[in-house]
């Protein structure tokens, strides 16, 4: 059983009196390449597929429905038929979903028996309670937000989810206009599942879009919340690399695992020696972690050699790890090269196209793109070029530019987001890049959408710089501990 089969367990427990429906619920559309897109979405974590078809004749629905059911079986997902009880029986589906005007739950139960699931669309508490009384196993509630899939007289918002969830004994599936950036509020309100159509099936990469939304469900998990794997070098001084990553991940509330790509002899004054293990040993570390832990986000720092970069790229492909935060560590604070020139080519060819978020600073972006960057306009141009190199999202950090404000720019291929903070004048800035990338990774693993994860990560590293205390004789480290306390809203009056 591979990683995805372990993570895509059947969401309906027929041995329980309360059949559980939870996670990411996909409703099909009428577009081309449906089977291919659904397969991709399933690989990204979809747990329930509802086959909705208003255009095909019955025989074609049976044929397409059979293939969709087969796909669901391959990924351990639940297969639901929309509105048509007879079709659900013929396809031996796991259940049927009924609209308010498309069937009766009591009659459907008589036809389907006790072993299949019945869901009912509702728009308010009264309809939801009636559906529960009629024997529904779950209710679909919406439209939560405005949606382009159908005309709705009004939306009910997350507040209706909370109201209905408080009164029902059965699961609530929220539907209508839900996407990565607003689903968190719906999950916080108590939704057991979120139903989507275009946010996944209309995405350029349905698997990645599904993974993004699936991660949002971690926001309700107990702490440590989410698992982050850091692949980076070891800093014997403790301010950067694996040490900074694990401090950040742990202090912010996630679980951190590690793969060490290099050992460095360094202190606050610089790096005096580097010892890199064979790439085969890095591959063994990756295999040991990834065959045991279900990693949510991979954060990558120092890679050192092309062979190590290749070993990582192969592992990412083998385990279908999509949430990769790539921080291109190239040079230490003292100027020591931490990435061989040939390894840079491997990064460009294999890792940048595989990453979810790429987080270079200005000198690193200049080296990778061949551009010169003097201002925010130049940063924008560089993010576009890096996006064209394959990075899904680019966060270009502006700390190396001049001015009293430090602005980082996030580009997703369409929209620019700016994150600004006052510049902190300090020598104690060792590990800022590692810390920011790790903080973003932790927040992603905890169920924050990307713009929120970046915003929180930026706030954390800004505080870590401001609260940094002198350590050593060179560039001291940032203050992870006090920054985490401040982030959590705890008093630090007696700690400074």
Active site (catalytic) residues: 52, 121, 150
Label residue 220 left, alpha or beta by phi (over 0 means left) and psi (-120 to 50 means alpha). Answer: alpha
> CA-to-CA distance for 119 and 95, rounded, in angstroms?
8
CB 255 within 8 A of CB 226: yes
Q: Is the dihedral of CA 298, 364, 304, 345 positive or negative?
A: positive
CB 467 within 8 A of CB 486: yes
The H-assigned helical ranges of 76-117 are 85-91, 105-112
CB 447 within 8 A of CB 188: no
Q: Within its chain, how far is the Cα of 388 from the centroid? A: 21
Strands 416-422 and 405-411: antiparallel
Question: Where are the strands (E) in 308-374, listed by range?
Answer: 324-326, 357-358
> CA-to-CA distance for 441 and 131, rounded, in angstroms?
41
Tokens 């079709």, residue located: 87
CB 265 within 8 A of CB 272: yes
> CA-to-CA distance for 449 and 446, rounded, in angstroms?
9
Q: What is the 3-state secondary structure (H, E, C) of 179-218?
A: CCCCHHHHHHCCCCEEEECHHHHCCCCHHHHHHHHHHHHH
The torsion angle over the Cα atoms of residues 163, 167, 173 and 178, rounded to 10 degrees, is 0
Label residue 337 left, alpha or beta by phi (over 0 means left) and psi (-120 to 50 means alpha). Answer: beta
> CA-to-CA distance for 294 and 81, rounded, in angstroms?
31
Q: DSSP of 371-382, one letter per residue?
A: ----SHHHHHHH
| Residues in a beta bridge with 231 | 259, 300
Q: Is the dihedral of CA 277, 279, 280, 282 positive or negative?
A: positive
> Do you find a cis peptide bond into 203, omega within 30 degrees of 0?
no
Widest pairwise Cα distance in the chain: 78
Helix (H, G, I), strand (E, B) or coil at 151: coil
CB 80 within 8 A of CB 95: yes
Strands 193-196 and 227-235: unpaired
CB 81 within 8 A of CB 102: no
């Amino acid at each position: 059983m591979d990683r995805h089969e372990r993570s895509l367990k059947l969401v309906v427990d027929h041995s329980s009196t309360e059949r559980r429906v939870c996670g990411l619920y996909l409703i099909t559309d009428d577009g081309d390449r449906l089977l291919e897109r659904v397969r991709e979405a399933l690989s990204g974590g979809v747990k329930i597929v509802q086959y909705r078809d208003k255009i095909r004749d019955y025989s074609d629905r049976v044929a397409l429905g059979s293939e969709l059911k087969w796909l669901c079986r391959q990924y351990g997902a639940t297969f639901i038929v929309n509105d048509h009880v007879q079709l659900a029986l013929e396809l031996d589906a796991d259940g049927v979903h009924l609209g308010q005007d498309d069937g009766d739950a009591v009659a459907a139960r008589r036809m389907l028996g006790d072993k299949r699931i019945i869901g009912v669309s509702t728009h308010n508490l009264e309809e939801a309670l009636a559906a529960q009384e009629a024997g529904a196993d779950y209710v679909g509630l919406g439209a939560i937000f405005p949606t382009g899939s159908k005309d709705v007289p009004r939306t009910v918002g997350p507040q209706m989810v909370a109201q209905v969830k408080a009164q029902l004994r059965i699961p609530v599936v929220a539907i209508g206009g839900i996407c990565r950036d607003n689903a968190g509020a719906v999950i916080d309100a108590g939704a057991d599942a979120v139903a989507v159509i275009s946010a996944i099936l209309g995405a350029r990469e349905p698997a990645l879009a599904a993974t993004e939304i699936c991660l949002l469900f971690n926001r309700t998990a107990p702490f440590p919340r989410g698992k982050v794997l850091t692949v980076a070098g070891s800093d014997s001084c403790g301010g950067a690399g694996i040490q900074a990553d694990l401090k950040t991940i742990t202090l912010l509330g996630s679980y951190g695992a590690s793969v060490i790509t290099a050992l460095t002899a360094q202190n606050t004054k610089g790096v005096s020696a580097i010892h890199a293990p064979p790439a085969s040993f890095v591959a063994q570390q990756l295999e040991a972690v990834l065959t045991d832990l279900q990693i949510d986000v991979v954060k990558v720092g120092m890679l050192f050699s092309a062979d190590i970069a290749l070993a990582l790229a192969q592992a990412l492909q083998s385990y279908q790890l999509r949430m990769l935060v790539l921080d291109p560590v190239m040079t230490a604070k003292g100027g020591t090269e931490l990435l061989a020139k040939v390894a840079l080519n491997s990064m460009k060819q294999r890792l940048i196209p595989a990453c979810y978020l790429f987080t270079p600073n200005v000198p690193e972006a200049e080296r990778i793109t061949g551009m010169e960057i003097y201002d925010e306009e130049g940063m924008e141009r560089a993010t576009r070029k890096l996006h064209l190199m394959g990075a899904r999202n680019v966060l270009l950090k502006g700390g190396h530019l001049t001015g009293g404000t430090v602005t980082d720019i996030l580009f997703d291929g369409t929209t620019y987001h700016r994150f600004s903070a006052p510049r902190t004048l300090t020598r104690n800035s060792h590990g800022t890049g590692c810390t920011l990338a790790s903080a973003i990774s932790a927040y992603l693993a905890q169920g924050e959408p990307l713009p929120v994860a970046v915003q929180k990560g930026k706030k954390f590293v800004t505080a870590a710089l401001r609260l940094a205390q002198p350590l050593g004789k060179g560039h001291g480290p940032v203050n992870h501990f006090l920054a985490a306390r401040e982030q959590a809203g705890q008093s630090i009056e007696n700690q400074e």
